[in-house]
Structure 1
């Protein structure tokens, strides 16, 4: 992973892999994170919206998935091939600045859920 930003309703990631196809990585990411988030919600005794949220996740599972108890992530993804240094750099700039362009913060370094934040803990691959 080179860059990322977790926005309130979606996540944008710039990543590559030589070992696995990116669709496999995204499927595994979605599966793992959904299990963790659903578990955190279900096991949190202080979560006041627990029943409501779990009911919604169950409703969407029954409506769209049929083989899972709860549905967390939206179906599909929108991969973009970044096949030039210029295109890659352009997308890095866009991803890093998403919290600014959507008016969540004034500076990308202030957004905690981003690779731009100085104290983020995700190990990133160098891209420059």
Structure 2
């Protein structure tokens, strides 16, 4: 992995994204989205994760994060592992999931093609963290994250998207405990 895409300085903020394998649109059901939200809040409360911005789209997550506890790469690794396992179980156990067989086939196929997995692969392995070392870059990534649902046509205004920190930047409280960038 290139040095450019590594978390080098634990004191810095990072923009990172991670996507489902093959960009599968998993996050169209609230129960799957809520697993990611719960995991973010758990990591904030118990692992020292600091979330400054986030947005959960249908197949991926964007975040600006830092840490005052465990190393950031370990938090992200554990969060991805936990959410993958929990979402796969939720898909398997959901009688309403009309795409169950196809979703599990996609994740199993990806898992077979990756020797790091035992059965399924849910998330793509890379995160491509980008150190936010200037106010310009920080502002650019913050705008990108919050405008992602607008660009996708989900909402007209960023703060109207429930699974994002845009609402927090309007003075209201969102689903995840966010530290505002001032």
**TM-score of the pair, normalised by structure 1:** 0.87
Corresponding residue of 2:146: 96
2:176 is the counterpart of 1:122: yes
Partner secondary structure for residue 62 of structure 2: strand
CA 1:102/1:44 → structure 2, altered by over 3 Å: closer, same or farther? closer
**Aligned equivalents of 1:6 and 1:119: distance in 2?**
16
Could you list the per-position Cα deviations for residues 54-102 of structure 1 after superposition, in whole angstroms to 9, with x for gaps in the alignment?
1221111011145322110012011111123332223212211111233
Partner secondary structure for residue 63 of structure 2: strand
CA 1:78/1:66 → structure 2, altered by over 3 Å: closer, same or farther? closer
RMSD, matched Cα: 1.8
**Aligned equivalents of 1:73 and 1:126: distance in 2?**
27
Give yes or no for contact 1:65–1:71 (8 Å, CA) kept in 2. Answer: no
Gaps of 5+ in 1: none
Higher normalized strand content (fraction of residues): 2
2:155 is the counterpart of 1:105: yes
Corresponding residue of 1:37: 87
Gaps of 5+ in 2: 1-50
Give yes or no for contact 1:3–1:124 (8 Å, CA) kept in 2. Answer: yes
